[in-house]
Structure 1
Amino acid sequence: MTLHLSSELPLEARPSHGARFLRYLRRHPSVAVGGGLLIAIVLLGALAPLWGTVDPTAISPTRRTRLPSEANWFGTDLLGRDVYSRVVYGARVSVTVGFSVAILASVMGLAVGLCAGFLRWADGVIMRVIDGMMSIPPILLAIALMALTRGSIGNVIIAVTIAEIPRVARLVRGVVLSLREQPYVEAAISNGARAPRIVMKHILPNTIAPMTVQATYICASAMLIEAILSFIGAGVPPSTPSWGNIMAEGRALWQVKPHIILFPAVLLSITVLAVNLLGDGLRDSLDPRIAKRL
């Protein structure tokens, strides 16, 4: 009698992608809470026409500085504009500036950091420039750059990006310097591998995790800087609804009409908190030294 044994063994049941994602969120609640809040803020800004009750720029002198009511959920400002609608539309400015600065600063800082860390002859020159830029606080550098041009969302993004690039560049440079001395990198160099191939294959993939975490902190910082610039009149035009502009317009009456400043300040705080929670959760999950202790 001949026995025919199947060469295919039953595969162990593997959890689905959804189950693994839920397990990841349970292990890292900061990612779940921060990501959920951030998604809610993004949807708030993206779908602003659906949530807004009236035109955020509509002026009504007969409805000036009204308290929150059924008709105006967050009250009205000095020009009779609906604060709720302005706060909802203001989420667009903060989210746009925060995400744009995080992406642009990460890409440019990555390129600068790779050059400084891998090219020994360029390290001294690049890092002296970076050190000079880092000696100036990002908010002061952004104010100085905005003083040279007119206020607009695009110029705010450019100014804040320039101020944030040194943070990413220094981080990437430190990672590259540590990786450059690893045996597998030295082996690739001794085998005659070209510098671009070494960077793309061995170094760049190892910079993604720390740079992703840094990008979340840059996003939160960019939102705060944009609000400060708008608050002092150096950011987006006053006609554009932004959280900084709303608080600037209500600061003269904050003691008697605190609702004008309260609601945009609360939304800004929640958004920055959400991004920081997301960054902390990503740091805990992407850093192998921390992940082993969890």
Structure 2
Amino acid sequence: MLKKYRRYKHPYIITSIIILSLLLFLSLAAPLLTNYNPVRNDARNRLKAPSAVHFLGTDQFGRDVFTRILYGLRASLEVGLAVVFLTVLTGGIVGVLAGFYPGLDKFIMRILDALMAFPGIIIAISLAAIWGAGKLNIILALSFAYFPKMARIVRSSVVAIKDLDYVESARAAGARDSRIIAAYILRNSASPIMVQATFNFALAILDEAALSFLGVGIMPPAPSLGAMITEARNYMVVAPWLIIAPGIMIILSVLSLNLLGDGLRDLLDPHLKNSFKK
């Protein structure tokens, strides 16, 4: 029992789970942790310094910064989760088709290569500018930008697994392609998918903040960590808390997810796992 506990006691995973649990609690419990409205202006309390009344001060419109960070964090996590779901779904389907059916492989991979020739953030900015700002458009734009890499990872796993002995045995026994893909291919491709999903989650939070910062993301007055940093640029000297607080929240979110991805990669990769045990 002790050996089993030590096996899964990975410092990166433990640290990331603690930080992510705290961030998730703050986002879900926002209505219980604050009584302020995140979008209501209060001109009498403009640019108030942090105090017992306003934990992280107020912004140029008198809105409570702590409240807006909590709701902005919730929006970032919602975007990240939705992007991960769509990239895993679309990337998984495309990757399985390319890896399992050689006839489709060249056609699909050439399209993916063309998409991956452009940086993901450039694709996301272009699509967000065309489709317009808004949470749904951001989710779709980021998902379209990220799914080619997920598809390539899934395709590589499928190519490596589909010719193994147990897959050939199932095929010889008369198993259908759908059965082989569901029971053997996808089950044994779960590790790289999980690792890439965590990195996509972190990248989605960072790029959502970047899109909001550029003005093509979540539009004011709706709270967004990136938009809060944009609005705080003109008040960095007189009210530095306006830019420091949301910046720290973005750093913690991205750092915890990257730590989780590194930890899962070390734990699930057979070669790294053996070195980690030593």
Counterpart amino acid of residue 251 in structure 1: R
Q: Distance in 1 between matches of 2:68 and 2:92?
A: 36
Q: For each residue in 1:19-65, what CA deviation from the matched residue of structure 2 results, as whole angstroms up to 9, or x when unmatched?
A: 7885455x312111101110111111111111124111121122222
Who is 2:265 aligned against?
283
Number of aligned positions between the proteins:
276
Q: CA deviation at 1:255?
A: 3.2
Taking a change above 3 Å as real, the CA distance of residues 59 and 68 of structure 1, as seen in their structure-2 partners, is same
Matched, 1:37 2:19: yes
Who is 2:45 aligned against?
63
Who is 1:193 aligned against?
175
Who is 2:73 aligned against?
91
Who is 2:31 aligned against?
49
Bigger mean CA offset, 246-255 vs 37-46 = 246-255
Match of 1:179 among 161, 166, 191: 161
Who is 2:132 aligned against?
150
Q: CA deviation at 1:185?
A: 2.6
Matched, 1:81 2:63: yes
Who is 1:139 aligned against?
121
Who is 1:245 aligned against?
227
Who is 2:256 aligned against?
274
Counterpart amino acid of residue 113 in structure 2: D
Who is 1:293 aligned against?
275
Matched, 1:223 2:210: no
Taking a change above 3 Å as real, the CA distance of residues 49 and 142 of structure 1, as seen in their structure-2 partners, is same
Q: Distance in 2 between matches of 1:216 and 1:124?
A: 28
Contact 1:65 1:80 in 2 (8 A): yes
Q: For each residue in 1:151-180, what CA deviation from the matched residue of structure 2 results, as whole angstroms up to 9, or x when unmatched?
A: 221111111111110111000111111112
Counterpart amino acid of residue 244 in structure 1: G
Who is 1:124 aligned against?
106
3-state DSSP of counterpart to 1:77: coil
Bigger mean CA offset, 139-148 vs 69-78 = 69-78
Q: Distance in 2 between matches of 1:21 and 1:272?
A: 29
Bigger mean CA offset, 143-152 vs 176-185 = 176-185
Taking a change above 3 Å as real, the CA distance of residues 82 and 22 of structure 1, as seen in their structure-2 partners, is farther
3-state DSSP of counterpart to 1:148: helix
Match of 2:151 among 155, 162, 169: 169
Taking a change above 3 Å as real, the CA distance of residues 22 and 267 of structure 1, as seen in their structure-2 partners, is farther
Q: Distance in 1 between matches of 2:253 and 2:38?
A: 21
Contact 1:87 1:241 in 2 (8 A): yes
Q: Which has the larger radius of gyration?
A: 1
The alignment-based identity, stated in percent, is 39
Matched, 1:106 2:62: no
Cα RMSD (Å) of the superposition?
Answer: 1.7
Contact 1:134 1:166 in 2 (8 A): yes
Q: For each residue in 1:125-150, what CA deviation from the matched residue of structure 2 results, as whole angstroms up to 9, or x when unmatched?
A: 11111111111111111111111223
3-state DSSP of counterpart to 2:18: helix
Counterpart amino acid of residue 283 in structure 1: R
3-state DSSP of counterpart to 2:130: coil
Counterpart amino acid of residue 92 in structure 2: L
Q: CA deviation at 1:186?
A: 3.3
Q: Distance in 1 between matches of 2:145 and 2:259?
A: 23
Q: For each residue in 1:256-275, what CA deviation from the matched residue of structure 2 results, as whole angstroms up to 9, or x when unmatched?
A: 32210100000110011111
